[in-house]
Structures are given as C-alpha cells and as structure tokens.
C-alpha cells in the first residue's frame, strides 16, 4: 500500500535528530591588518555622510556654480596693509604676468580673451598654463535711464577682484623666453590696466614696492634711521665754519 503525503511527512520529521554542532576550525593563517591608507579611507567613509544636503560647488574658473539670484556686494580688492606678499611671485610656472598699476575688477569675458590669445600664440608648443585667479563675484546692473531704487538689478556677468602686484597667469614648459614674453604682451593688451613680465625667483612686492635690496623689516619701521648726534653736531659746526670764513680770491687771468 502506497503511503499518503501526510504519513510520509510525519515519518520524515520523526527521522530528524538534534545534535551539537562541531566547533569551527581555527584559521591557521594570521589575520592581515589593513594598511594605514585603507584604515584612513575607512575612517572617512565611516564619519562621512552617504548623501549631502548642500549643492556641489563645481564649475569652471570663469563661471562658478553659485546662485545668481543671491545678490553680491561690489566690494574692493584686498589691500595688503600688513606687509603681505601673497600672490606676487611665480610659484608653479617659470614665467608670469603681473599687474603693476592699480587694483580693479576684471570680467570673465576679458579673462577668456586673454587666455585664448595666449593659446593662439603658443599653438604647437608644449606648455602648461596656470590661472591664479577665478571669477567668483557676480556683477548686477540695472537698465539705462532707470530711476533710483527698485532693487540692485539683474545678473549681468561674472568677474574677479584683481589686486595690485598680483600674478594672473603662469606658464611652464619648454618654451623660449621671448616667445612667452610676446604671448603675455598680447594677453596684456586684451586686459584692462598695465602688466609686466616676471620670472621665477624675482623678488616679491609689498604694495608697489619691490623687495629688491629692501627688507620687509625696513618697510615696517615707523621712522627712518637717524644719524648719530655726534655726526650731526660735527656737520653743523663744519657748515658754520665754512659760512664764517672769507671766500678765496679768484685767480686773475
């Protein structure tokens, strides 16, 4: 007689036995500890969030990913009143283009024209162009013949604040110096203001004063060095003696 499904299932359950499981075998190979780099990466992943609630600050050096609707103040370029020389020397490249006349605000259109001029002049050469400034200031303008008030105006273009004696472009590569000079000369003609050609190793600039033979401590002194009192008295006595003595007669011809 063929057993039915219920009896077969009951016999299968009756055949089950509960026994203690065998202990796991211990690993003979030593456990490898993660390296310092992997440990640091794991720590960053553990502390970091899986998502971000803030927008990514991406973009190019001419157009950042900033909110155009958020109005920005016009502002003024940074003036190094404490003797700072930041941004006045060539760091990454061999040659640079530096402003010499006055601080101003340069638009992204002018910077793009200068960059294209350099690329056209150095076409076929092996070089690398470094941009030391980026456009992060929005310019807002109103229409012509508008009355006062009614807000700041609508967005017009991006710009950057360029301080005096700061380096804008740097070039590094196997290029002759005269070719780079010519490229920077053409780029300076496309930019507002006056520019100069600098090389790596040139002295830094504080304001408009180059530290060539002049130390920063000399510029920070409130007064100039005065001559010793003995020399001042001796010079005054000598001047009085020369003024009191009669003049020598002129030789007759």
Q: Are 206 and 175 in contact (CB under 8 A)?
A: no
Q: Are 101 and 193 in contact (CB under 8 A)?
A: yes
List, for residues 149-188, the tens digit of each pLDDT value.
888 889 999 999 999 999 999 999 999 999 999 999 999 9
> Residue 184 is part of a domain; what is its CATH number?
3.90.1170.10
Residue 178 C-alpha from the chain's centroid:
26
Residues 83 and 165: their CA atoms lie apart, in Å, by 13
Which pLDDT score, from 0 to 100, does residue 122 have? 96
Structural domain contains residue 161: yes
Structural domain contains residue 178: yes
Which pLDDT score, from 0 to 100, does residue 142 have? 87
Structural domain contains residue 120: yes
List, for residues 52-63, the tens digit of each pLDDT value.
343 444 578 888
Range of the domain at 192: 85-142+154-206
Which pLDDT score, from 0 to 100, does residue 45 have? 47
Mention every residue, 6+ apart, whose C-beta is less than 8 A from residue 156. Answer: 139, 140, 141
Q: Are 93 and 170 in contact (CB under 8 A)?
A: yes
Q: Are 66 and 138 in contact (CB under 8 A)?
A: yes
- Spatial CA neighbour of 173 closest among 131, 128, 130: 128
The CA distances from residue 107 to 61, 82, 203, 251, in Å, are 12, 28, 28, 72
Structural domain contains residue 58: no
Structural domain contains residue 148: no
Domain count, the chain: 1
Structural domain contains residue 79: no
Structural domain contains residue 186: yes
Extract the residue ranges of the chain whose pLDDT is less than 70: 1-5, 18-58, 222-227, 245-253
């Amino acid at each position: 007689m063929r057993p039915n499904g219920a009896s077969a299932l009951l016999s299968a359950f009756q055949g089950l036995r509960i026994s203690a499981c065998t202990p796991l075998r211990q690993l003979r190979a030593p456990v490898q500890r993660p390296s310092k780099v992997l440990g640091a990466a794991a720590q960053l992943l553990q502390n970091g969030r899986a998502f971000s609630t803030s927008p990514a600050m991406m973009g190019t050096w001419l157009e950042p990913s900033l909110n155009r609707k958020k109005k920005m103040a016009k502002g003024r370029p940074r003036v190094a009143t404490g003797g700072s020389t930041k941004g006045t020397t060539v760091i990454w490249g061999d040659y640079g283009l530096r402003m010499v006349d006055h601080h101003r605000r340069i638009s992204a259109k002018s910077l793009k024209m200068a960059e294209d001029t350099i690329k056209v002049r150095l076409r076929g050469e092996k070089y690398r162009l470094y941009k030391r400034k980026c456009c992060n200031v929005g310019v807002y303008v109103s229409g012509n013949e508008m009355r006062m008030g009614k807000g700041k105006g609508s967005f017009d273009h991006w710009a950057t604040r360029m301080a005096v004696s700061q380096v804008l472009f740097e070039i590094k590569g196997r290029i002759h110096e005269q070719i780079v000079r010519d490229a920077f000369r053409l780029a300076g003609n496309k930019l507002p203001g006056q520019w100069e050609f600098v090389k790596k190793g040139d002295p830094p600039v504080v304001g408009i004063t180059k530290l060539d033979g002049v130390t920063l401590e000399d510029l920070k002194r409130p007064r100039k060095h005065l001559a010793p009192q003995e020399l001042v008295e001796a010079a005054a006595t000598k001047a009085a003696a020369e003024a009191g003595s009669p003049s020598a007669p002129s030789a007759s011809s």
